[in-house]
């Protein structure tokens, strides 16, 4: 057993990760940014596998934000190709490791072939009962909240919902994340102290962990450190 597994006693039920620093990782090595993303995909595989082994139930990865569409066309295209290839080549491994794939975000914005592959992988892994891997794709928390409000209004207009009944729980049922518990632990790599439009509603009581490690270097030992730090936090949810 890995030494870094010592002392891990409390496992977060849901881990969310802002995977950052791929570009800097590549720049430090004189490589194109896309190389950082390519090696970053290897970190994704390793972290997914390790979360499954640790008994984490949900892992949400911020893989492509609503704002990422503003990047140069070539980089966006390389990221979409990488995502599609990842799904194509890793679905068998997900099945073998009992990983159920899900996705949140404005998925209809993704290139058609990417959407099709995503839905194929989701369908193929739908019976898996281990880790649920949720990819946030073309995801923005403000967009999610706006979409949630539209969905609520529609329910009220159709007479399925009484306006007076709307509370936190009912609103949460209109978000992309309605099937999942809120994250217990949010990890951000590469040292930036920002939320970057990620899960604004869901992280109200989530524990934050920021590491200087760049995403392509974030492997199982780094994950163990984050989980260990989480185990030392006292969560009071506003109570005393
Ligand atoms: C942030 O690094 C990373 C992204 C915008 C994309 C994340 C994508 C991957 C980890 C690879 C593919 C994902 C899957 C699920 C296969 P950055 O480019 O913003 O880095 P920088 O801040 O150093 O420029």
**Residues contacting 119, CB < 8 A, separation 6+:** none
Give 46-73 as a DSSP string: HHHHHHHHHT-SEEEEEEEEGGGGGS-H
Ligand 1 atom 6: residue of nearest CA: 63
Give, for ligand 1, the residue of 16, 17, 23 to mutate: max count of ligand atoms closer than 8 Å to Cβ: 23
Share of the chain above pLDDT 90, in %: 93
* Superfamily in which the 3-140+183-231 domain is placed by CATH: Decaprenyl diphosphate synthase-like (3.40.1180.10)
Tell me the pLDDT of the chain averaged across its residues: 96
Question: How remote is the CA of residue 139 from the centroid of ligand 1, in Å?
Answer: 13
Per-residue model confidence (pLDDT) at position 221: 98
Task: Point out which residues pair with 239 in neighbouring strands.
Answer: none
Q: What three-state secondary structure class fits 8?
A: coil
Indicate which residue of 68, 109, 182, 217 is catalytic.
68
Does residue 167 have an active-site annotation? no
Question: Is the distance from the beta carbon of residue 86 to the nearest atom of ligand 1 less than 6 Å?
Answer: yes
Contacts of 11 (CB under 8 A, 6+ apart): 54, 55, 56, 227
Verdict on whether the full-model pTM lies above 0.85: yes
Mean per-residue pLDDT, 64-71? 98
20 as an active site residue: the answer is: yes
Catalytic option among 6, 20, 162, 167: 20
Residue 2 is predicted with a pLDDT of 57
Report the separation in Å between the CA atom of 22 and the middle of ligand 1, taken as the mean of its atom positions.
5
pLDDT one-digit tens code per residue, 82-130: 999 999 999 999 999 999 999 999 999 999 999 999 999 999 999 999 9
Instruction: Look at strands 132-139 and 100-104 and give their pairing.
Output: parallel
Tokens 């599609």 identify what position?
84
Residue range 6-15: mean pLDDT, rounded: 90
- Per domain, the residue ranges of the chain are 3-140+183-231
């Amino acid at each position: 057993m890995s030494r870094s597994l010592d002392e891990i006693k409390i496992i977060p039920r849901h881990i969310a990760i802002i995977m950052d620093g791929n570009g800097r990782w590549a720049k430090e090595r004189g490589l194109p940014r896309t190389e950082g993303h390519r090696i970053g995909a290897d970190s994704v595989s390793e972290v997914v596998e390790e979360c499954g082994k640790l008994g984490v139930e949900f892992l949400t990865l911020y893989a492509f934000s609503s704002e990422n569409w503003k990047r140069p066309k070539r980089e966006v295209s390389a990221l979409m190709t990488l995502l599609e290839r990842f799904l194509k080549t890793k679905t068998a491994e997900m099945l073998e490791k009992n990983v159920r794939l899900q996705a949140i975000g404005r998925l209809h914005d993704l290139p058609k072939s990417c959407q099709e592959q995503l839905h194929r992988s989701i369908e193929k892994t739908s019976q898996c009962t281990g880790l649920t891997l949720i990819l946030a794709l073309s995801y923005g928390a403000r967009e999610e909240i706006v979409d949630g409000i539209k969905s609520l209004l529609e329910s009220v207009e159709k007479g399925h919902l009484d306006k007076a009944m709307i509370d936190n729980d009912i609103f949460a049922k209109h978000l992309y994340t309605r099937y999942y518990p809120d994250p217990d632990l949010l990890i951000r790599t590469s040292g930036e102290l920002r939320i970057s439009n990620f899960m604004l509603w869901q992280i109200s009581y989530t524990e934050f962990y920021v590491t200087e490690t760049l995403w392509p270097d974030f492997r199982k030992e780094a994950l163990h450190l984050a989980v260990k730090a989480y185990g030392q936090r006292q969560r009071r949810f506003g109570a005393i």
